[in-house]
Structures are given as C-alpha cells and as structure tokens.
Amino acid sequence: IAQALAHEEQGRIVYRADMISILRQRELNRIAGQLSSELGLSYFEVKTGDRLEGKMVRSVELASGKYAVIEKSREFTLVPWRPLLDRHVGKEVSGIVSGE
C-alpha cells in the first residue's frame, strides 16, 4: 500500500493489475544502476521491436528471470535471456528485441 501497488477496499487488500510489471521494472532499474557503476557505462532501455547490436558480455539472474548484458561502446542494455544466447557469451550479437 505504501508503494502504491495495492489499496484497501472493504477491508481487503486489492493489488494493482500491473503490479508484477512495475516490480519487474523497478528491479531492472536497480540492477541497471549497479551494473552502470560496475561497468562504467550508461544504461539504455530497449523495447520490443527495437534493433540491437553489441557484445553479449554475461548474464545476470534477477527475481524476474535471467537477462543478457549487451554492451555497446559507451552503453549497455539488459534483454530477456534466451537459451540460444548460451553460445554467444563474449561475442558480438545483433537482432530484434522480442517480447518476453
């Protein structure tokens, strides 16, 4: 309730319909901030349908799932992990960001 993710209604707690997506985004933002400090790079967010190119440097495990860390020259992004990425760690990758 204090974080505006739910409210009380007739003595019951009612959660927002988008609560999970809000929590996922908060977690991504928190991890992106940590990685930005660690890597010395700026974070940029990608959306479904965006074209992406860069080096897949590693993966990170979040409560919302596993993500690939993709670096470009001065920035990085996090994209949902796909099993086919296993063989591309440390390599250049490119593609279109698909939905989760």
**Domain span holding position 42:** 6-96
Looking at residue 86, the DSSP 8-state letter turns out to be G
By CB neighbour count within 10 A (0-12 exposed, 13-18 middle, 19+ buried), where does 87 fall?
exposed
Q: Is residue 22 part of a domain?
A: yes
pLDDT for 100: 56
* Helix/strand/coil for 47: coil
Cβ-based neighbour number of residue 76 at 10 Å: 21
The string of pLDDT tens digits covering residues 26-50 is 999 999 999 999 999 999 998 888 8
For the chain, what percentages of helix, strand and coil (3-state, to nearest 5) are there?
Answer: 25, 40, 30
- Of the listed ranges 5-9, 38-42, 60-64, 67-71, the least confidently predicted one is 5-9
**Total domain count, the chain:** 1
> Within a domain: residue 1?
no
From CA 54, how far away is CA 12, in angstroms rounded?
48
| Domain-embedded: residue 79 | yes
Is 45 part of a structural domain of the chain? Answer: yes
